Structure 1
C-alpha cells in the first residue's frame, strides 16, 4: 500500500514529491523546503534539516519519512527509525539522483510519473554543448573558502558539463584559500548563491587573486538540487555552458 502521510526532511525531494503529484500526501517538511512555494507553505514545518523536531514528527504519525545521508543527522534518522519507516537516500552522483527518483516513485505508487521525469532529465543530459573542457573551481562558502570534492553531487554535475573540477582530487568539501586557488589557475570560477550567498562584490575579491580566470555568479540550485529540479537545472546548465565557452 502506498504511503499517504509523508514527512520530507530533504528540500529538493519535497519538491519532487509535489511534482510527482504527491502533494496531498506530504504532511510535514523542514523550513528549508521552500519549493513549490505556492503549495509547500501550507505544509506544517517540523524544524530544520539538521535539527528536526522529533516530537512534531511523531504527532504527524507519518507512514513514510524521507531523509538523506548528507542533509540529515545520523542520530535523528536512527531515532525516527525506531518508530517509523524511513527512506534514507544517498546522492553523490547524477545516477544516484535518478535512482532516488525511481525509488521514490516506486515506493509511493507513481512509477509512471517518475519514469517520465527521468526520461526528460536524460534528454537534457544528452544536449550538453560540444565545447572543450574547462578547468573550474566551484565555491560554496567564504571564510573559510570551501569548494567541492570528487565524491559530491555537485562534482558529478560539473563533470557531466565538462567543467573539470580543480579540487576533484579531494573529497567532500575541502577548505582552501584564494592564494591556493590562484596556484591552480582555473579557467572558470563559479560562485554559488547557496549555501553562502555570493554577490557581485565577491567577484572583484576573487579576481584580484585570479586575474586570468572568468568569475561567474551562479544559481546554486542548478548544481546542488536533485529530484525534479534537475529537469529545469540541466536545461539552464546547457545554456550556461554554451555562454561561458
Structure 2
C-alpha cells in the first residue's frame, strides 16, 4: 500500500506504526525526525498533480486542516481519500484506529493503547482554572468551542473562558482577553510560535504556561506523553 498524508499528526502516526507505507507527506510533516518521503506542498495548498504522480492507494486528510476542493480533486481522479474529524480525545482514538486499521490495514499499534492508558489513568482535577488559550497573534485568536486541544486541557483542569463562544477559534481583542477573568494563559508553540516573552508582554501579572503544540494539538504517538508534558507545563506556570 502507498499512503500520502496531508496531516502532520497522521503522518507521524503512520510513520511510527509502519514506516514503509508513506509515499508522500506535506512540507509541515516534520515527525518523526528524518522522515524521508516525497513532499507534496502544504496542508492548505497541496500539489494535487504531484500527489497523483505518486499513485497513492490512500490519501489521509482532516476536515479542519485540509481544503475540500483539493480533496474533491483527488477523489475525482479516482484516489481513495479518508477524512478525519477530531474535536475530542475519544474521537481522536477512534479516528486513529480508523486510519491505521481500517484505512491502512495495520494491526492496532501498541502506542495507541499506551496513549489511551495514559489518559485513562488521570485523576479528576481537584479544581478547574479559568484560562485563555491563544492560538494566533495579529490578530489575537483563541480556542473557543468544540476543539480537541480544549478537551485535553479540560481533562487537565483548565477551563477555557471562551469554551462557550459560538466560534471555534474566535478573534478577541487583547483588551477583552485581559478583562476576561482568566487566571491563567496557555500559550502553545504552534500554530503560532508563542515564546516565553509573549505572555508577560501581552498579559502582565497573569501566570503563563508555554506548552508544546505537538502535545496539545496533535493526535498521534505524542498523545502517550501529552498528559505528563502538558501537566508539567501547567504546574510550572502556577508555582
Residue 12 (structure 1) aligns with = 9
Shift of 1:85: 0.5
Shift of 1:219: 1.5
Residue 62 (structure 2) aligns with = 68
Post-superposition CA distance 1:191-224 (Å, at most 9, x none): 121111112321222233xx2x212222111211
CA RMSD of aligned residues (A): 1.6
1:78-97 → structure 2 map (5 Å cutoff): 78-82=72-76, 83-97=78-92
Quick check: 1:222 aligned with 2:215?
A: yes
Residue 157 (structure 2) aligns with = 162
Check conservation: 2:93, 2:116, Cα contact below 8 A.
no
Match of 1:59 among 40, 49, 53: 53
Structure-2-length-normalised TM-score: 0.92
Check conservation: 2:209, 2:234, Cα contact below 8 A.
no
Residue 200 (structure 2) aligns with = 204
SS in 2 for 1:176: coil
Rate the CA distance shift 1:205–1:244 in 2: closer, same or farther, 3 A: closer
Quick check: 1:187 aligned with 2:183?
A: yes
Q: Distance in 1 between matches of 2:60 and 2:67?
A: 13
Post-superposition CA distance 1:82-132 (Å, at most 9, x none): 21000011111111110111112222222332xx33321122113435431
Check conservation: 2:209, 2:233, Cα contact below 8 A.
no
1:39-50 → structure 2 map (5 Å cutoff): 40=35, 42-50=36-44
Q: Distance in 1 between matches of 2:199 and 2:155?
A: 25
Could you tell me which runs of 5 or more consecutive residues in structure 1 were left unpaired when the two chains were aligned: none
Check conservation: 1:28, 1:46, Cα contact below 8 A.
yes
Q: Distance in 1 between matches of 2:121 and 2:30?
A: 29
Could you tell me which runs of 5 or more consecutive residues in structure 2 were left unpaired when the two chains were aligned: none
Rate the CA distance shift 1:241–1:218 in 2: closer, same or farther, 3 A: closer
Quick check: 1:31 aligned with 2:27?
A: yes
Q: Distance in 2 between matches of 1:56 and 1:26?
A: 14
Check conservation: 2:92, 2:219, Cα contact below 8 A.
yes
SS in 1 for 2:159: strand
SS in 1 for 2:179: helix
Q: Distance in 2 between matches of 1:84 and 1:154?
A: 31
Shift of 1:10: 0.5
